[in-house]
Structure formats: C-alpha cells, structure tokens
Amino acid sequence: MHILVTGVAGFIGFHVAQALLARGETVIGVDNLNDYYDPALKHARLAQLTGQKGFSFQPVELADRDAVDALLVPASGVTHIIHLAAQAGVRYSLQNPHAYISANIVAQINLLEAVRRLPGLVHFVYASSSSVYGHAEKAPFAVTDRTDRPLSLYAATKKADELFHYTYAHLYRIPATGLRFFTVYGPWGRPDMAAFLFTKAILAGEPIRLFNGGDMRRDFTYIDDIVAGVLATLDHPPADTGEAPPHRVYNLGHNHPEKLTDFVAILEEALGRKAVLDLQPMQPGDVYETAADITESRRDLGFSPTTPLSVGLPKFIAWYREFYRV
C-alpha cells in the first residue's frame, strides 16, 4: 500500500504512521505544522518518523486547492488515504470559527475533489468525532442515532464531513469510512486535552478546571486501541454493490465511560500529588457524557479495546515525565 496520512505530526496521525511503517507500508505524511498548540511537539513527533524506511513528508496546507491537486496526482502512487488533519477543540471553535471552516470543510472538499480524479484509490478513511452526537437522547451512542443537532461549530464541521463523503461516495463511488473517535489519550497526546492539562497543572501545583462541577463522564480511549481500530478500518473498505454508496461510519471508543473525578484520582495516584480543583459551570458546546456503542466496529472490524484508564494514564504520565524531564 501507498498510504497518504494527513495530520501526520498530530497525536493520532503520528501513532497511525508509526504502526503502518512497522508493518512495512509506504507512508506519505502531510501536515501544515500550525501553531494551534506548541509546534515543537509536532516537530518532535515528526522527528520520530523521519528517516524510517518507507516514510516521506510533505509540508502541505490542505486548504490550498492547488497544493492538494499537486500532491494527489497519479504519479504519487497513493492507493489509500487516512485523513486525520483537522482543527480540533470544542471550546476553541467559539473563539476562531474561521479556522474550522478552512481546516475541516475547505480542506475536506479539496481532498475529495482531487481524489475523484485519482485512479486506483482503494479506501479513504477519515476522522469524524463523537461530538456529532450533541445532546444525545440515550447512552451509549449508536452510529444509527440522530446526529443533526451539533452543540459546537467543531461538531457541525465533523458532521458536514460525513455528509460530504456520503455524497461523493454516491456520485463518484469513492469507498470511504468515517471514524467517530471518543476522547483519545496517551503518550505524545495533545496539550489541550485533559490528561495533558491536568498532569501539567498538578505537577506545577496549579488548579485544574473541572466543568459542571466535575460531574461529567467521558469514554476515554487509549491511543493503541484507536490505532488498532484505524488499521482494521483501512483493511476493510466498504464494498461497492452498485446500489448503496460505498460509505460507512463507525464508533471507536473504549465502551466504558469514566467519571471525570475518577480520572483525576488516577492521575493523583500516579503522580503522587493531590490536585487543586477549580469547579466551574458547564461550558457552551460541552456535553455531560460520551459513550460509544461499538457493536458495528466490533462485528465488522474486530475492534476490541483492551486498555483501561488505570493502565493507560500511567503510561501517558511516564511519557510526559520523560519528554519534559519533570
């Protein structure tokens, strides 16, 4: 396989590229290395990939149509795409909405338009989000549940991506699968996520903000389990029967929501320090609980997450202490 991985210097993209290279695939990594969070972390991830057999890197801005067209030409040999590049973050979408339109809408259309002219594409896997469920009427969330009531612009753009892919699968028979990720954490994680923010604050003796007074539940999913799900998805493109569009959507989550206060307690034990809590009201765009129904991904992909929070969080902390020398 010749696999294009977008967002390759990002958290999930980096780990997915590592796994693909480990099994002998050719990976063309793409990233714009923007400054949404410290670019030094992105460069450090990229340095881990650079020089590995089968890996090459292209610094491409996916919102630039001409750059995408130049990237995805027949001579590139790309047979599979794993599109993980996006502007992430629910709360940041309230501050900088245009960044989400550029990275999550314009970039997606640019890729789809380039891909429909690319011969030999086997599968287009792309990242969606559990945020599309909004104020779900029940938990766990099933892929058949209603997803037309997003609570943030970020969620709205991710739902739009699913609709774009369905349409292009219908019109141009592009085999595509969307993955709704549920609160991914682990080594090399994003600095704007809870594990990173809380660990940094606890070590510094600074307060950590818990929204809704700490009464929230999240389906925290360890990165190795997510990577296994992404690779299994890549290897199982939807069949084109000539009737329904060759497009599917799956949940990738741990299937075991945890209380945010329990999450903090595990961090405290692993770090050997107590957290200073700053209890805040619920924030606009947030949801009380996320919970993945993985019936379809377990059945079709063999997806079976195995890493509990009590194992995954200490692994994150070990990486954090080594990387930041604290």
pLDDT at 81: 98
Report the largest interatomic distance among the alpha carbons of the chain, rounded to a whole angstrom: 60
pLDDT at 166: 97
Known active-site residue 154: yes
Mean pLDDT of 12-34: 97
pLDDT at 139: 84
pLDDT at 144: 95
Averaged pLDDT score across all residues of the chain? 94
What distance, in Å, lies between the first and last C-alpha atoms of the chain? 40
**pLDDT at residue 136 greater than cutoff 80:** no
pLDDT at 285: 66
Q: What's the token pair of residue 244?
A: 């329904």
pLDDT tens digits for range 38-78: 999 999 999 999 999 999 999 999 999 999 999 999 888 99
**pLDDT at residue 284 greater than cutoff 80:** no
Sorted by where each begins, the domain ranges of the chain are 2-182+221-254+291-306
pLDDT tens digits for range 188-239: 999 999 999 999 999 999 999 998 888 889 999 999 999 999 999 999 999 9
23-40 burial code (b ≥16 CB/10 A, e <16) = eebbbbbbbbeeebbeee
Mean pLDDT of 258-277: 94
Chain mean position to CA 180:
8
> Which listed residue (92, 133, 154, 185) is catalytic?
154
- pLDDT exceeding 90 applies to what percent of the chain? 84
pLDDT at 76: 87
CATH code: domain 2-182+221-254+291-306 is 3.40.50.720
**pLDDT at residue 274 greater than cutoff 80:** yes
